[in-house]
Structure formats: C-alpha cells, structure tokens
C-alpha cells in the first residue's frame, strides 16, 4: 500500500464505514416504524445524508483518485491535497449530520457549502477523466460529466434550501434536490461505471457499443425532461418521461445481460452484484412510474405512507446503489492492493487470485441476503395494507428482513477486512494456487512439528 497517509484506499474504507453505519441506522428506523414507535424524524435525514454524502460521494471520490493506479498511471496530485480533501469532506459530513440533528439549517447550509467546495476542488480532474481505452468496454466519459453537473446543481439547490433562499418553491426544490443527487449523479455515474467495468470483469467485449451509446444519450435527456415535469408540476409529463427512462434502462439491462451470456464466464462476486443491481434498477424505474400513476386519481388508488415510501426508495438505496458499491469494491479493492503491494508483474497474478478467492467466498449467501432483504421491504409495505403494525406476522417479516440484510452486510464487511489484512508473500511463485498460498504457512508449521 502507498505511504501516503491519505491514499485513495483511505477514502474507500472511510466511505464504506459511513455507508455501513448509515445502513445500521436505517435498519433501526425500520424497526421503530413497524413497532409503532417511530424514531425522531431527523434520524431519517441523518441516515440518508450520511449514506449519500459520507458514503457514496466519498466512495466515488476514492474511485476517481484510484483510477490512475488501476489504469497504470501515476497520480501526480500531492498527497497533502488528498489529505485536505479527506478532512474537509468528512468534517462537512459530520457538520451536516449535526445540523440536521439539531434542526439548525445555517449549520447544514455551511456544511453543504464545504461539500460543494470539496467537489469543486476535484471537478477539473473529474471532468477530464477518461478511463483507459479498451476495445471491450464503453467509454462512460459523457455520463461522468453529466453526473458531475447534476451533483453540483443538486448540492447548490440543497444549500439554497438550507438557507431558505427559495421558500415559495420548497416542494419543487426538494424534488429537484433529491432526483438530481439520486438519478442525475449517482445513477448516471454508476450506469457509466458498470458499462465500462462489467466487460473487463467478465473478460469479454460489450455486446453492443451502439446500444450503449444510445442509452448513454437517452438517459440524461430523459432525466432533464423529467426535471422539467417536476418544475411544471405535470404528472402526465413525468409519467411519459418515466416510461422513456424505463425503455432506456431495459435496453441497458439487455446489453449487460447479453454481454454476460456471450462471455461464458461463470461470474464472480463483482459481476454478480453488478447484474443484480441492474435488475433492481429496472424494478426501481417501473415502481417509480407506478407510484406516480397511483396519484392520478384523487384520492390515490392505494394508500401511500411512510413505509411504502421506504420500500420504494430502498429499491434504489439497497437494491441498486448498495449492490453496485459491493460489485465495484469486489473488483476495485483487490486490484488496488495488487497494484500497490506487488511491484513484480509476475507475482501479481497469484496474489490477485488469492484476494479474489476470498472476495468470492460465500457470495451466494451475500447476494441472497441483500436481494431478499430488499424485497422484504416491499413485502412489509404490502402487508401494512391488510395487517396492523403490531401483528405477529408483520413482526416476523420485519426480523427476517433485518436478518437477511445484516447477513449480507456482515459477510461483505468481514471479507473486506480479511482482504485488507492479507499481505503478499515475497517468495510467492506464479505457479502457486491461491489455496496453497493461503495455507502454506500452516502446512509448513505442521511439517516442522512432525519433524520435531
């Protein structure tokens, strides 16, 4: 690992820690809601902003900073710049959460301004970022630039809301802020990254470059028009554009699915998480349109309360975003460790195989836990239409959902810590299998014991 006290890996581990803590807070909020003893409303805001700013944004910044080493390029940015960026981003996240907890909007606005400054400090690098040109993958540079613009505009609107600069447009501003961050920034950036990395992970070529370019042009355009529908308060326009976005996401999913099928690759933890995330992205888009259609008649066709809203949003937060993060880290962390810890190209292969073997262990349990746990949110929302909150069946469903989600989170966290603790052996030869490498010290110790 690099000697810098604030390497890209530091951003990734810290971002994952924010994400993990925020997820545990979200599970506590769910238990309170189902038990009929809801926790304070400000905890929801802390949960969401901790996850998105401290977690997802920091993970993406770490990924951007790590891109040079993964592409075989050196990072010429002074390590002191990384350190100040790291401190500013995490201090701003902490200030943001404190301000939300106290209901002090000036603190929230000031912390948001620091977040904007942190993003601006790397905006030039993000704008000029172009992944290593590979024939098998798509070039997501356009989506990355669009997501950067959406992030900055979404953050500016959030700061303006905190300082109450647009009180007469607060409802529109809140919708814009939420969708600019979730759809415009996170979703577009993750779609671009998946387009690029999945063929590399599967060691194959993207099924259709033309289809990828079409999707990368359609989705941002549809998002811009969707924002126009919010501003115009036109539900019919929102539903029409929602249908267009569904088309784009389905084509995106089809392209990835055909890529996986044509590769003949059995898959690994990274590819599995990215493909499952794509399924939930399609489901999320369809649910979004259905939620909007539910409000066409007045009163709405189905009651839509806090638990139903949580089920819908967590199709995005867990089903798509968290699965994508797990997939990206399953690929990126081993690659970073191999690049930083092993200078010899000949010795990188066995060490990489060793780390990937650890990441792939029990991946079925990990995937099933996160996927079924996400679906459990939807089941709970449906049950509340017919079953009272205090009922035994709803309590059982809640704890099963929590157990599934916790199993996936715990297993992945343990494997991540395991991988970070595994160091390459200097005497490692390219012909040694990963299992032999891992058990070699133990076998040597047993042999010496027998000789004694």
Q: What is the pTM of this model?
A: 0.87
Q: What are the tokens at 256? A: 């990835």
Give pLDDT < 70 ranges for the chain.
1-5, 68-80, 132-138, 426-452
Q: What is the pLDDT of residue 2?
A: 43
Alpha-carbon distance of 397 to 33, in angstroms, equals 13
- Residues 6 or more apart whose CB falls under 8 angstroms from that of 10 comprise 62, 86
Q: What is the pLDDT of residue 435?
A: 41
Q: What is the pLDDT of residue 426?
A: 55
Alpha-carbon distance of 229 to 238, in angstroms, equals 5
Using alpha carbons, select from 18, 10, 9, 23 the residue that is nearest to residue 373.
Answer: 23
Alpha-carbon distance of 270 to 328, in angstroms, equals 6
Q: What is the pLDDT of residue 450?
A: 40
Q: What is the pLDDT of residue 443?
A: 42
- Name the packing angle between helices 105-121 and 141-162 (round to 10°): 160
Q: What is the pLDDT of residue 232?
A: 76
Q: What is the pLDDT of residue 434?
A: 41
- Using CA of residue 407, residue 408, residue 409, residue 415, what is the dihedral sign? positive
> pLDDT by residue (tens digit) across 309-329?
777 888 888 889 999 999 999
Q: Is 308 exposed, middle or buried (0-12, 13-18, 19+ CB in 10 A)?
A: buried
Q: What is the pLDDT of residue 451?
A: 39
Q: What is the pLDDT of residue 430?
A: 40
Q: What are the tokens at 82? A: 């990384």
> pLDDT by residue (tens digit) across 366-406?
999 999 998 988 888 888 788 887 788 888 988 999 999 99
- Using CA of residue 332, residue 333, residue 334, residue 337, what is the dihedral sign? positive
3-state helix, strand, coil in the chain (%, to 5): 80, 0, 20
> pLDDT by residue (tens digit) across 266-304?
889 999 999 999 999 999 889 888 888 888 888 887 777
């Amino acid at each position: 690992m690099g000697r810098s006290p604030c390497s890209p890996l530091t951003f990734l581990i810290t971002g994952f820690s924010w994400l993990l803590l925020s997820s545990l807070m979200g599970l506590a909020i769910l238990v309170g809601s189902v038990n009929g003893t809801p926790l304070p409303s400000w905890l929801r805001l802390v949960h969401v902003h901790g996850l998105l700013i401290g977690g997802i944004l920091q993970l993406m910044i770490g990924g951007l900073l790590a891109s040079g080493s993964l592409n075989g390029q050196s990072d010429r940015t002074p390590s002191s710049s990384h350190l100040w960026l790291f401190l500013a981003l995490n201090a701003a996240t902490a200030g943001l959460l404190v301000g939300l907890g106290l209901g002090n909007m000036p603190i929230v606005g000031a912390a948001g301004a620091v977040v904007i400054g942190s993003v601006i400090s790397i905006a030039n690098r993000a704008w000029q970022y172009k992944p290593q040109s590979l024939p098998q993958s798509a070039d997501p540079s356009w989506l990355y630039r669009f997501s950067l613009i959406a992030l900055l505009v979404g953050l500016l609107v959030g700061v303006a809301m905190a300082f109450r600069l647009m009180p007469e447009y607060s409802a529109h501003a809140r919708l814009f802020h939420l969708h600019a961050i979730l759809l415009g920034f996170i979703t577009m950036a993750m779609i671009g990254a998946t387009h690029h990395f999945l063929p590399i992970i599967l060691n194959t070529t993207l099924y259709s470059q033309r289809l990828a370019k079409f999707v990368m042009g359609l989705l941002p355009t549809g998002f811009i028009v969707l924002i126009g529908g919010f501003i115009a308060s036109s539900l019919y326009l929102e539903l029409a554009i929602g249908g267009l976005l569904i088309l784009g996401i389905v084509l995106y999913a089809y392209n990835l699915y055909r890529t996986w099928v044509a590769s003949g690759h059995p898959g690994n933890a990274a590819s599995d998480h990215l493909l499952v995330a794509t399924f939930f992205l399609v489901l999320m888009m369809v649910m979004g349109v259905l939620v909007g259609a539910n409000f066409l008649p007045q009163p709405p066709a189905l009651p839509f309360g806090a638990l139903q809203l949580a089920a819908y949003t967590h199709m995005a937060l867990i089903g798509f975003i968290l699965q994508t993060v797990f997939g990206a880290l399953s690929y990126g962390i081993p690659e970073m460790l191999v690049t930083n810890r092993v200078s010899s190209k000949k010795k990188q292969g066995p060490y990489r195989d060793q780390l990937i073997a650890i990441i792939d262990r029990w991946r079925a349990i990990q995937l099933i836990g996160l996927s079924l746990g996400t679906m459990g949110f939807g089941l709970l929302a449906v049950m509340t239409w017919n079953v009272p909150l205090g009922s035994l069946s709803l309590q059982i469903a809640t704890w099963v959902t929590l157990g599934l989600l916790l199993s996936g989170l715990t297993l992945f966290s343990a494997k991540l810590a395991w991988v970070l603790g595994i160091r390459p052996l200097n005497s490692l030869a390219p012909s040694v299998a990963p299992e032999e490498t891992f058990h070699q010290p133990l076998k040597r110790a047993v042999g010496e014991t027998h000789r004694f």
